[in-house]
Each structure stands twice: as structure tokens, then as C-alpha cells.
């Protein structure tokens, strides 16, 4: 016993040195920029029924950047955005800007959108919904240019602020997401009880500085950010904005960053009031606080990033068929036809989607999978099941939001996520029955590039 006691100071010293070494191995930097549109009135994106622009700001919108660097100098940047989505070419421009300004590998930039339907319209993203006049076209064009500069600036600022840090991972639980397809079937068939697929987990990443201060908390959820429905003509971050604000109030000096996960077929329930948006936001923030109060597991080690794009075909349509759609009784069909024909005239391949998937791996067992488009919840479950023992976060709405991404089951069932939504996204029609296989092939290629073959 005496011998053991005599070694105790040395043991404690070695443990402390190991902790410091682990802390020094990882660095983090955080930055925030406000992206609220200033040229009001401004059209909001997400609801085709809206015919008027928003004239007031109920809640400011933000882009928040978290930069990470491992012991070897490999870096990655996550940027979360209070926006419905971004086009892929904007992501490419920002990646090019950061490569020039900070030498960041384009594969290491991850942009994720909260998918608020109370955020500004961006040209070429869901443009079919709008009949912009020259004034509003000019506003959205200027906003897009502002956004490129703001996002590159925030990411660069986060990289400039890299300091020793520690990352930890935990999981919370929130229950307001509901399978909207199951709800619709139940409404159509009273007394029925169709199966519902949900994911109520709330993954949480805590980022602490060397002195123990919480610099950032990144948290995710699989649910459309649509508590506020189309009648609300105001700029608002919806439940995700409320959750971030609640957490930043609870932890002064901390940047709260929301990750939209695979919520393509999930809606907040109930919805359609400002009070419910705040309530769901509080529910989500409470889930994060509960997770932070439990024992978290460290996230450390080397950073590896991969960004892969594959062409995924849509069901073929002839040019004659698209031209005939110009005479459709529905205005959105007519706009879709004009949009597609204009793209064809430019020589674009309108018969496919250039689909992106990204993998960000830290150490041996943590990976963030980022998928483009409005990804339905089944993809999140499938990818997590395929990697037992790993700490896996699967995000949709990342890097490019070009359309819904259904599974084969949902494609065969039909409905909005499989078919009708493609009108508003300006796609010629639904995917083929190989969609799930091809999407997963893209994801698996990204995972293989970071050493996680499946």
C-alpha cells in the first residue's frame, strides 16, 4: 500500500500529461455571421402557396462556422445555415474561395442548411415556386452574392481562430418529429394505424477550449423545420432558430449550431403557430441540455474528409413531352417545363441529378455523413445500422439541396416526396427504381475514402 501511494503523484502527473496532449492535438475555432436579408420586402422560400414577400423579421438568421484541425494539420470546416437550402454551385464557389484564402481542401468544407421555410429565396433553388419581377430578381441575385462572401468569411474567420480544444459526443432525445406520410394516410383512412418511421435521437457534439469553456455545441434532429406554415410572412429560424437561441442563452459565450439530419418525410407535430415553434425549439434545446449533463465520450484523432458526386438518373422524358407540359393547366407545371427547356437549350443534361455525399471522420469511430437533398429518415437508419459500434451522425440538406431523395419504398408508394415535389425543384420527373442503390453507392464511396468500407 505504501509503494502504491508513493507512485500516486507520478501516475496523476502522467494522466494529466496525457490529457493535455490529447487536448493539444485537436484545435477548434468558431465564427458567426448574420445572414438575415436586409432588402425587405423579400420573398421567402418553401411554400408554393405564398404569393407575397415577407415584410418583417421575427428572428435573425445566422451562418455559424466550426473549424477543426488535428495534430497533423489536417483541417475541416462545418458551416450551419438558417436557410432552406443552397445550390451546389454556390458551395463550389465558397470552397474555391476558401482554397485560395486559407488553403482548405474543398473536400473538407461541409455546408448544412436548417431548412427553415421562413428564410430567404435564393435564385435557382426552388425557383419554380416564384414569379419574380425584375426588382425581386435583383434582390435575390444580390443576396446570393452577399451569401457567398459571408459564408467564406465566417469559415475563414473560424480557421483563423483555431486554438487547442476538446470534442465530446453524446445523444439526447426529442419527440416532436412525426412521419408525415403516415399522418396523411391516417387522415385519408380514419381508424387506420399505418406504421410510422421516425428518428427521435439528438446527436450532440460539445467543443471546449483549453480552459474548459464551452465554445460550441453542435446538435442535430431529423425533422422538417416547418412549424411555421405558409401563412406566416416573416423571416424566422423556426424551431431550429429557437433551439439555438435557447442554448446560447443557457450557455453564455457558446455558439449553438443546428444540423438538419434526415428529415425529408418528417414534420413537427403539432404545427402552425409561433408558440409551437418556440415550444418545439425548447424541447430540442432541453434534449441537448440533458445530453450535456450526462457522461460524454471524447472525439479525437486524425481528420479525414471525402466529397463524392455521382450522376443519378431520373426517369426519361422526351423533349416533346416536356414541350407539351407548357400547356398544362397548373402554373407550376408550366414553369417547370420552361425551366427545363431553358436548361436544355444551354446544353445541360436534365435527365440526371449530380448527387453529392460527404464523409467527415475523426479518429477511429466517429463519422459525420453529409448527404445532399431532402433525405428521408430511412437513409439515416440504414447508414447507422450498417456501422455498429461507430458514433455516426447522418445529415441531409448538405452542400446541395436539389430535390427530395426517396428510398425505393417511398418511390414506389408515390406521393409528394417521390413525385410531386420534383415539379417545384425543376426536375423532369421522379428517380428510377435504382435510386436507393445509387444514393447508397455514393455514400459508400465517400465512406470508403475515409477508411470505412462497407
Q: What is the pLDDT along the chain (454 residues), one digit of tens a residue?
A: 343 444 444 444 434 444 444 445 899 999 999 999 999 999 999 999 998 999 999 999 999 999 999 999 999 999 999 999 999 999 999 999 999 999 999 999 999 999 999 999 987 778 888 888 889 999 999 999 999 999 999 999 999 999 999 999 999 999 999 999 987 776 766 766 667 899 999 999 999 999 999 999 999 999 999 999 999 999 999 999 999 999 999 999 999 999 999 999 999 999 999 999 999 999 999 999 999 999 999 999 999 999 999 999 999 999 999 999 999 999 999 999 999 999 999 999 999 999 999 999 999 999 999 999 999 999 999 999 999 999 999 999 999 999 999 999 999 999 999 999 999 999 999 999 999 999 999 999 999 999 996 5
What is the DSSP annotation of 410-427?
HHHH-SIIIIIHHHHTT-
Span between the terminal Cα atoms of the chain, in Å: 50
pLDDT in the model for residue 183: 78
Report how far residue 83's alpha carbon sits from residue 264's, in angstroms, rounded to the nearest whole number.
15
- Residue 295 CA, chain-centre distance (Å), reads 26
Residue-number span of the structural domain to which 97 is assigned: 24-313+351-449
How many C-beta atoms lie closer than 10 Å to residue 419's C-beta? 18
318 assigned to some structural domain: no
Q: How many domains does the chain have?
A: 1
| Model pLDDT, residue 185 | 73
Alpha helical stretches, state H, 170-273: 180-188, 238-250
pTM of the complete model beyond 0.85: yes
* 6 belongs to a structural domain: no
Q: Give the per-residue pLDDT at 192.
A: 65
User: Does residue 337 lie in a domain region?
Assistant: no
Classify residue 325: in a domain, yes or no: no
* Res 188: pLDDT: 65
The three cell numbers locating residue 30 = 468558431
Predicted pLDDT at 454: 59
The three three-digit cell numbers of residue 308, written as one number: 463524392
pLDDT of residue 123: 75
In-domain check, residue 2 = no
Residue 45 lies in a domain: yes
Query: Rounded to whole angstroms, what are the CA distances from 452 to 48, 231, 360?
Result: 41, 45, 11
Asked whether the beta carbons of 357 and 443 are under 8 A apart, the reply is: yes
pLDDT at 15: 41
Find out whether 376 and 426 touch, Cβ atoms under 8 Å.
no
CA distance 383 to 407: 13
- CA pair distance 383, 393, nearest whole angstrom: 9
Does residue 234 fall inside a structural domain?
Answer: yes
Cell numbers at residue 353, please?
441529378
Residue 240 lies in a domain: yes
- Could you tell me if residue 191 is left (phi over 0), alpha (psi between -120 and 50 degrees) or otherwise beta? left
Amino acid at each position: 500500500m505504501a509503494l502504491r501511494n508513493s507512485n500516486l503523484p507520478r501516475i496523476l502527473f502522467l494522466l494529466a500529461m496525457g490529457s493535455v496532449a490529447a487536448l493539444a492535438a485537436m484545435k477548434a475555432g468558431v465564427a458567426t455571421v448574420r445572414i438575415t436579408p436586409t432588402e425587405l420586402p423579400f420573398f421567402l422560400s418553401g411554400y408554393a402557396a405564398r404569393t407575397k414577400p415577407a415584410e418583417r423579421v421575427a428572428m435573425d438568421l445566422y451562418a455559424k462556422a466550426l473549424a477543426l484541425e488535428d495534430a497533423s494539420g489536417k483541417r475541416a470546416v462545418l458551416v450551419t445555415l438558417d436557410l432552406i437550402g443552397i445550390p451546389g454551385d454556390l458551395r463550389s464557389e465558397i470552397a474555391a474561395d476558401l482554397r485560395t484564402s486559407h488553403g482548405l481542401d474543398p473536400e473538407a468544407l461541409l455546408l448544412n442548411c436548417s431548412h427553415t421555410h421562413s428564410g430567404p429565396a435564393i435564385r435557382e433553388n426552388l425557383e419554380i415556386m416564384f414569379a419574380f419581377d425584375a426588382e425581386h430578381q435583383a434582390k435575390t441575385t444580390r443576396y446570393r452574392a452577399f451569401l457567398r462572401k459571408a459564408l467564406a468569411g465566417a469559415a475563414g474567420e473560424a480557421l483563423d481562430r483555431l486554438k487547442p480544444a476538446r470534442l465530446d459526443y453524446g445523444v439526447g432525445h426529442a419527440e416532436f418529429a412525426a412521419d408525415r406520410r403516415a399522418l396523411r394516410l391516417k387522415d385519408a383512412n380514419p381508424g387506420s394505424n399505418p406504421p410510422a418511421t421516425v428518428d427521435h435521437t439528438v446527436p450532440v457534439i460539445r467543443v471546449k477550449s483549453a480552459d474548459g469553456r464551452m465554445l460550441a455545441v453542435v446538435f442535430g434532429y431529423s425533422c422538417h423545420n416547418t412549424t411555421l406554415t405558409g401563412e406566416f410572412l416573416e423571416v424566422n429560424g423556426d424551431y431550429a432558430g429557437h433551439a439555438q437561441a435557447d442554448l446560447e442563452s443557457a450557455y453564455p459565450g457558446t455558439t449553438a449550431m443546428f444540423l438538419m439530419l434526415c428529415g425529408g418525410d418528417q414534420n413537427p407535430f403539432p404545427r402552425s403557430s409561433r408558440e409551437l415553434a418556440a415550444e418545439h425549439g425548447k424541447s430540442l434545446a432541453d434534449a441537448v441540455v440533458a445530453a450535456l449533463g450526462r457522461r460524454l465520450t471524447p472525439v479525437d484523432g486524425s481528420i479525414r474528409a471525402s466529397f463524392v458526386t455521382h450522376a443519378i438518373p431520373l426517369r426519361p422524358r422526351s423533349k416533346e413531352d416536356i414541350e407539351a407540359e407548357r400547356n398544362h393547366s397548373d402554373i407550376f407545371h408550366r414553369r417547370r417545363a420552361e425551366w427545363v427547356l431553358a436548361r436544355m437549350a444551354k446544353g445541360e443534361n436534365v435527365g440526371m441529378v449530380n448527387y453529392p455525399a460527404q464523409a467527415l471522420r475523426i479518429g477511429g469511430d466517429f463519422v459525420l455523413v453529409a448527404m445532399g437533398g431532402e433525405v428521408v429518415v430511412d437513409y439515416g437508419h440504414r447508414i447507422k445500422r450498417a456501422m455498429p459500434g461507430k458514433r455516426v451522425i447522418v445529415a441531409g440538406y448538405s452542400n446541395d439541396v436539389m430535390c427530395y431523395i426517396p428510398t425505393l419504398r417511398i418511390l414506389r408508394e408515390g406521393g409528394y416526396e417521390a413525385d410531386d415535389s420534383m415539379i417545384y425543384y425543376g426536375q423532369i420527373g421522379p428517380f428510377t427504381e435504382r435510386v436507393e442503390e445509387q444514393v447508397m453507392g455514393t455514400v459508400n464511396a465517400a465512406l470508403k475514402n475515409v477508411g470505412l468500407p462497407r
